[in-house]
Amino acid sequence: MTELALHILDIANNSTRAKAKNVAISVVADTAADTLTITVSDDGCGMDKELLERVTDPFSTTRTTRKVGLGIPLFKQAALLTGGSFSIESEPGKGTVTKAVFGLRHIDRVPLGNLGSTMTALAGGFPDTDFTLLYEWDGKKYEFSTVKLKEVLDGVPLSEPEVLNYIEDMIDENIENINGGQPI
């Protein structure tokens, strides 16, 4: 994956396949600690212990357990390559929390990439799921939520191309505003 935002898209896709109603994504940069922490939390069906143990192993995949594949192992690898850490917690019936910590300035850290485009792909692709995004840079925050947008849209689907383009521009602008436009 060429962007961390693509990993986020991929991991959040797991959440929608687990029938999550709410998916919360957070991207938190802390320059003092030199970390970039990405969390994807959902209220989907969760995983039992047995599946949870296999889930970071790329070679445990079979055709019948299609939702377990390369997505999680690739995300974990990307984090560990930067001296970071990775964890995944899950409980059947409650949901799953996937968390990856990256070395913010580590030379092998993949760029964050286009979060606006990732959120748009999620919001448009899964109109029945609600997504939130918290983007934080040294305490400065931007929060995005499809719940609020749906209220304003009053029945007009989020998946309308014009709405999606608006959302993408809005998220990009706000993120750029928070960290002064420097690439992450």
Partner 1 sequence: MKTLEELQAIRDKMKERINNRGIAGENDYRVVVGMATCGIAAGARNTLKALTEEIESRHLNNVILSQTGCIGICKYEPIVEVFAPGQEKVTYVHVDAERARQIVASHIVNGKPITEYTYSYAVKEN
Q: For helices 161-178 and 115-125, what crossing angle results, to 10°?
A: 150
- Number of residues interacting with partner 1: please give it, by CB under 8 A: 38
Decide: is 96 part of the binding site for partner 1 (CB under 8 A). no
d(CA 145, CA 126): 14
Q: Which of residues 9-68 bind partner 1 (CB under 8 A)?
A: 9-10, 13, 17, 66
Q: Is 54 helix (H, G, I), strand (E, B) or coil?
A: helix
Per CB under 8 A, the list member of 79, 149, 175, 179 interacting with partner 1 is 149
Query: What are residue 136's phi and psi, to 5 degrees?
Result: -135, 135
10 Å CB burial of residue 7 (0-12, 13-18, 19+) is buried
Decide: is 166 part of the binding site for partner 1 (CB under 8 A). yes
| Interface residue list for partner 1 (CB under 8 A) | 1, 6, 9-10, 13, 17, 66, 69-71, 74, 114, 117-118, 120-121, 124-125, 149, 152-156, 159-166, 168-170, 173-174, 177
